[in-house]
């Protein structure tokens, strides 16, 4: 499991990716060994390590506050927010829909850096107020003031998909009314900014500053990939919008009864290779879905006695889609849970078909191969610059 949930704020799941532990350790060590002993000499080693841990946790809270600001504004605008995940490069809000207008995009983007700058001002003000009385507390307040101001300023740089890049896209979108072209321009600017970071990182490597060089180059690489992926995701979503699920769903599917044992399912169905997931029915009604993942969870010695009803995902826990929903919604549902298929339901417990991930991907490849869309990250055929 890559990330775990640590709680909820305003109904939004807060998750921590395992990679966050890397940055937590690096920051704690660098502060305890390199920063605080130099900036605030005279304190004990134990105090320096304590300051390092406290500062890392406060940085965690500051990044969370930055992302929470994005998420709360998105929720206020009617956009569903699934979670906030903190990872090695900071945090990301899992907002399930794109902003509907340029104004919505601008407000969502700018509130994050604004929150960081406000937090930076509060921390630095606290540092100035308590500096004469408490060296340790003042040290933490000063560091948090500097780091939050730096975080806000960095995110305002026009490198899509950083917040500043999204602000740039919102301005271009508002001026032109063309979301796709605005995203393309913002993405190219983001890639340029990413390559600049990579170049500076390489220069630092050759100058002997290995840690900073590697870190900057790595951030640049990450931002470049994110800029390309963000534009590609927009093309995919626009390609799938308005195309109904019924167009790609599979109706010729085998259904199995809930009383079969897992061994019977393997022998009679799975080994044929025709399907990887089977709707489970009772008196013609859908009661669940069983797939290869469910079967793998059953120990080999228990497959002769464990029934489908015991191993399947029950209807109440299934993510489903309607036949008239569009494929953009469907691909979002597939991606959110990492599913390979979704049951298509046209009435409660009535299965109309299965929408498989491979069918959606095949449709996208067809669109690309026929020249209707370029899904590689470049402009579509016929688009002028």
Q: Where residue 304 sits, what CATH number does that domain have? A: 3.10.580.10
The answer to whether residues 44 and 7 belong to one domain is: yes
314 domain residue, yes or no: yes
pLDDT at 375: 57
The answer to whether residues 60 and 102 belong to one domain is: yes
379 domain residue, yes or no: no
Of 74-78, 285-289, 295-299, 331-335, the one with minimum mean pLDDT is 331-335
130 domain residue, yes or no: yes
The answer to whether residues 130 and 209 belong to one domain is: no
The answer to whether residues 82 and 117 belong to one domain is: yes
> Is position 67 annotated as part of the catalytic site?
yes
Range of the domain at 63: 3-156
The answer to whether residues 148 and 189 belong to one domain is: no
The answer to whether residues 225 and 355 belong to one domain is: no
Where among 215, 240, 265 does a domain terminate?
Answer: 240
The domain total for the chain is: 3
pLDDT at 33: 92
The answer to whether residues 288 and 187 belong to one domain is: no
The answer to whether residues 262 and 290 belong to one domain is: yes
The pLDDT of 247-273, averaged and rounded, is 90
The answer to whether residues 250 and 355 belong to one domain is: yes
The answer to whether residues 8 and 139 belong to one domain is: yes
pLDDT at 374: 59
pLDDT at 329: 86
Where among 125, 156, 187 does a domain terminate?
Answer: 156
Where among 197, 216, 240 does a domain terminate?
Answer: 240
**pLDDT band, very low/low/confident/very high, at 168 (cuts 50, 70, 90):** very high
The answer to whether residues 98 and 76 belong to one domain is: yes
Of 33-47, 159-173, 307-321, 360-374, the one with minimum mean pLDDT is 360-374
Q: What is the 3-state secondary structure of the chain?
A: CCEEEEEEECCEEEEEECCHHHHHHHHHHHHHHHHHHHHCCCCCHHHHHHHHHHHHHHHHHHHHHHHHHHHHHHHHCCCCEEEEEEECCEEEEEECCCCCCHHHHHHHHHHHHHHHHHHHHHHHHHHHHHCCCCHHHHHHHHHHHHHHHHHHHHHCCCCCCCHHHHHHHHHHHHHHCCHHHHHHHHHHHHHHHHHHHHHHHHHHHHCCCHHHHHHHHHHHHHHHHHHHHHHHHHHHHHHHCCCEHHHCCECCCCCEECCCEHHHHHHHCHHHCCCCEEEEEECCEEEEEEEHHHHHCCCHHHCCCCEHHHHCEEHHHCCCECCCCEHHHHHHHHHHHCCCEEEEEEECCEEEEEEEHHHHHHHHHHHHHCCCCCCCCCCCCCCCC
Among residues 67, 98, 301, 333, the one annotated as catalytic is: 67
The answer to whether residues 250 and 363 belong to one domain is: yes
pLDDT digits (tens, 9 = 90+) for 327-385: 988 888 887 767 889 999 999 889 999 999 888 988 888 887 776 665 555 444 434 33
Percent residues over pLDDT 90 in the chain? 57
pLDDT at 370: 74
346 domain residue, yes or no: yes
145 domain residue, yes or no: yes
């Amino acid at each position: 499991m890559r990330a775990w949930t640590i709680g909820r704020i305003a109904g939004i799941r807060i998750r921590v990716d395992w990679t966050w532990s890397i940055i937590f350790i690096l920051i704690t060590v660098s502060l305890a060994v390199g920063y605080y002993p130099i900036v605030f000499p005279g304190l004990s080693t134990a105090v320096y390590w304590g300051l390092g841990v406290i500062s890392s946790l406060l940085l965690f809270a500051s990044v969370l506050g930055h992302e929470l600001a994005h998420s709360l504004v998105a929720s206020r605008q009617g956009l569903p927010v699934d979670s906030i995940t903190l990872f090695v490069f900071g945090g990301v809000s899992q907002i399930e829909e794109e902003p509907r207008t340029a104004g919505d995009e601008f407000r969502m983007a700018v509130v994050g850096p604004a929150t960081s700058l406000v937090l930076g001002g509060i921390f630095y003000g606290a540092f100035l107020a308590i500096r004469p009385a408490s060296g340790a507390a003042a040290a933490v307040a000063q560091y948090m003031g500097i780091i939050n101001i730096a975080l806000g300023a960095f995110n305002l740089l026009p490198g899509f998909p950083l917040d500043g890049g999204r602000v740039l896209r919102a301005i271009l979108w508002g001026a032109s009314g063309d979301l796709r072209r605005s995203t393309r321009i913002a993405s190219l600017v983001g890639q340029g900014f990413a390559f600049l970071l990579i170049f500076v990182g390489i220069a630092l490597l050759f100058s002997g500053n290995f840690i900073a060089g590697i870190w900057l180059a790595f951030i640049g690489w990450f931002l470049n990939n994110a800029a390309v992926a963000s534009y590609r995701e927009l093309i995919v979503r626009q390609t799938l919008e308005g195309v109904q699920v019924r167009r790609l769903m599979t109706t010729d599917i085998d259904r199995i009864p809930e009383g079969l044992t897992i061994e019977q399912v393997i022998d009679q169905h799975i080994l044929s290779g025709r399907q990887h997931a089977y709707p489970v029915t009772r008196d013609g009604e859908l009661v669940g879905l069983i797939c290869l993942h469910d079967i793998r969870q059953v120990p080999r010695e228990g497959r002769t006695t464990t029934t489908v009803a015991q191993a399947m995902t029950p209807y109440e826990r299934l993510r489903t889609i309607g036949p008239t929903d569009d494929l953009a919604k469907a691909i979002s549902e597939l991606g959110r849970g990492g599913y390979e298929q979704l049951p298509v339901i046209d009435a409660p417990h009535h299965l109309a078909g299965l929408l498989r991930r491979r069918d959606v991907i095949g449709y996208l490849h067809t669109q690309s191969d026929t020249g209707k869309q370029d899904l590689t990250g470049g402009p579509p055929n016929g688009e002028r610059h």
